[in-house]
Amino acid sequence: MDVFLQQTVDGLAVGALYGLLGLALVLIFRSTGLINFAQGEFALLSTYLAFSLTVAGIPLWAAGLTTMAIGFMGAAIIQLVVIRRVDDAPHLAQLITTLALFLVINGFVAWAWGFRPRVVPSLFPTGVIRIGDLRFVAHSIGTLLVLLLVMFTVYAIFKWTRFGLVLRAVSSDRDASRLVGIRVGPMLMVGWGLAASLGTVVGLLIAPRLLLDPTMMFGVLVYSIAAVALGGFDSPGGAVLGGLIIGVAENLGGTYVGWIGADLKITVPLAILVGVLLVRPAGLFGTIRQVRV
Amino acid sequence: MNTADAIARSIEKPDGSDDVVHATAGPRGRPIILLVAGILLATASLVLPHALAGYQVFQLSMAIIWALAALGLNLLTGYTGVVSVGHSAFFAVGAYTTGVLMAVGGWHYLPALVAGGAASGVCGALVGGAAWRVRGLYFALVTFAVAAVVPPVAKRIDVTGGPQGLLVPRVRSPAVLGVSDEVWIYYIVLVVATVLFVGARNLVRGQTGRVIVAVRDNEISAAAVGGSIGRLKTIMFGYSALFTGFAGSLYALAVGFLAPDAFGILLGISLVAAIVVGGLGTLGGALIGGFVLQYLPFYAGEIHRALTGLLFGAALIVIIMFFPSGIMGGLRGVFARLSPLVLSGWRYIEGSVRAKS
C-alpha cells in the first residue's frame, strides 16, 4: 500500500509536468490550430540557459525566472519571424516548420553545450517528507506545489484579467477579434511566449529527475502529446488532467506490470495516444468538429 | 469511365494554384534528352565506384540508401499529404529484420534483404489499415510517439542485441568478380534502388497515383464521389513502408552494425526534412534529399557534429518560406526559364549562320 501511494504521488508530480507542457501545446493549438513539435526543444534550450546561469553562480530560482522571461521573448520573436510567415500556408507546411524549429534548436543546444549529460540541481531540498508512516520525496511534493501555483496563475490570467479575455477571444475566433479591434499579431506572440515560459518551468523541474542532455525532452514531449490527446486538443483543463492520468498510469504500469519496467514506460503514452485517437479522437473534453464539403 | 478517373477528374485543386507536384503528367516531350541523360547516369554510376576510394563508395551507397528511405516517405507525404515523423520505425523494421536473420538466423544476405523489405511493407499495410481513421495532424502525433518508442524497445529486446547493438555479418563480394566488398555492396544498393525507383515511378504515373493525388488534394471530396480512401491509404502505406524498409535492410548490409539510437526521432524528422528540401511529391526530390542527408552531416560534421541539425533545420525553414517546392521545384523552374532562352539563342545562332552562308 505504501509503495502504491508513493508511486501515485510521484506519478502525479511527473504527470503534472506532462500536463503543464500539454497546456503549452493547447495554448498554441487553440490560437493557431497547430501542434508545436518544437515545444519541448524550447523548454530544453531555456533549461540549458538556466543551467549555465547557475554554473555562473546565480541561484537556481533566479536563473529560472530569468530564463522564463528570456524564453517568453525568444518564442515571441520566433512567432513573429518564422511562424507568422507560414500562417496562411497549408497545415503540412506549418507542421514541417515546427519540425524545422525542432532540428534548429536541438542542433543549437548540442552545438553550444555538447552531448554530455549534465546534472541539474533540484529547486527543493533533497530528502523526504514524512506524513504518518508514508514518506514522499521532497522534490515530488515541491513540484506539485509549484505546478498548482503556475496553473492557478494561468487560470487567473485567463479568467479574471482583461488581457486574458483578449487572449481567449483571439484563440476562439481570430477574424472576429480583428474586427472588434484586437491586435491579433501581438496577442499570438504573447501566446507563444506564455507557452514557452510554461515549458521553461517544465524543463527546470524535470531536469533533476532525468539528466539534462540534448535528447531529454523527446520523451517528455511524447507524454505531453498523449496527455493533450487524452484531454482533448482544445481543452486546457483536459490537458492537465490527461497529464496527471498518464503520469500515474506510467508510474504504476512501470511498478506493477513486470514486462514494462523502467525502460519501456514510454510505450504507455503511445498506447494511450493510439487508443484515444482510434476510439474518441476529440479526447475526453475536446470539441468534436464536423467538416462540410 | 472507371471510379478512379471519375475521382481524379472531379476534384479541382482547392486553392486553384498551380500545384507544385506534377505527379500525373510528367514531362513527356524530351524522350531523347532523357534517354541520353539516363545512359550517361547509368554509365557513370557503374564506373564511378572504381574511381573512388573505399569510404567514398560507402558514402555513395549510403546516399542512395537515404534516397530510397526518403522515397518511401515521399510516396506517403508527397502523394497522400500525410506526414509521418516515424518512418524511422519502418527503416528500423527493415534493418533489424535483415540484421537478425543474418546474425542470428544465419541467412544469406539476399533472402534476408527481401525479408526485411517485405516485413516492413506488411507492417506498413497493417499500420495504414488503422491509420486512415486518424487524420492529418493526429497522425503526425502518433508517428512522433512511435519514433520515440523504437530505440527503447530495440534496447530492451535481446534478439536485436540489446543496448550494445547488433553486429551484422559482413557481406563478401564473390571472388569471381574481383571487386572490393564496398563496391559489391554499392552494386547491390544500386540495383535494388533502381528497381524500386522505377517501380515508384510506375506507381505514381498510373491509375493508383492519380486517385491518390485526388485524395491528397481534397480527401473529403474524393470520399464524397466514391473513392475508397481507407483501402487506398492502406495500399499506399504498405508501399511507402516497403520502400523505406528496403532502405533499412540495405543499411544493415552496408553499415554492418545496428545501434538502437540510430533509429530515433532525429532520423524520422531528418527524413521529413530530406523530402521537403529535395522536393515534396517528386521522385527526383527524394534522390536529392538522400544525397543531402548523407553529405551534409559529412561536411558539417567536420566543424561540429551538432551543426547538421542546425543547418538542416535552417535550410528547411528557408525552403518552406521561399521555395515551397524544394530543390527539385527550383531546378524545374530554372529549366523552364532557361530552355526558351537556350532555344532562342540556338535559333539566333542558326539564323546568323544562315545569313552568312
Give the per-residue SS3 of B64-121.
Answer: HHHHHHHHHHHHHHHHHCCCCCCHHHHHHHHHHHHHHHHHCCCCCHHHHHHHHHHHHH
Preferred mutation among B267, B271, B320 to probe A, highest tally of A CBs within 10 A: B320
Q: Which of A15-19, A210-214, A273-277, B38-42 has the lowest mean pLDDT?
A: B38-42
What does the pLDDT read at residue B226? 63
Contact yes or no for B67/B270 (Cβ under 8 A): no
What does the pLDDT read at residue A66? 94
Contact yes or no for A105/A42 (Cβ under 8 A): yes
CA distance A44 to A212: 8
Average pLDDT over residues A43-49: 94
Chain B residues with CB under 8 Å of A96 CB are 83, 272-273, 276, 316, 320
Place of cell 533540484: A122
pLDDT category at B27 given cuts 50, 70, 90 is: very low
CA distance B56 to A209: 43
Place of cell 538522400: B290
Q: Chain A residue with minimal CA distance to B323?
A: A93
Of B149, B310, B320, the CB nearest to A96: B320
pLDDT of B138 higher than 90: no
Chain A residues with CB under 8 Å of B266 CB are 103, 106
Q: Nearest C-alpha of chain A: how many angstroms from B278? A: 14
CA distance B99 to A135: 47
Residues 6+ apart with CB under 8 A from B151: B260, B261, B263, B264
Q: Which of A203-217, A243-257, A270-284, B215-229 has the lowest mean pLDDT?
A: B215-229
- DSSP-assigned beta bridge partners for residue B257: B167
Q: Nearest C-alpha of chain B: how many angstroms from A221? A: 9
What does the pLDDT read at residue A290? 62
Question: Which of A22-26, A132-136, B312-316 is most confident?
Answer: A22-26
What does the pLDDT read at residue B160? 83
Q: Chain B residue with minimal CA distance to A88?
A: B321
Q: Chain A residue with minimal CA distance to B268?
A: A99
Answer whether A273 sits within 8 Å of B130, measured CB to CB: no
- Closest by alpha carbon to A230, among B203, B138, B185, B119? B138
State chain B's mean pLDDT as an integer. Answer: 80
pLDDT of A120 higher than 60: yes
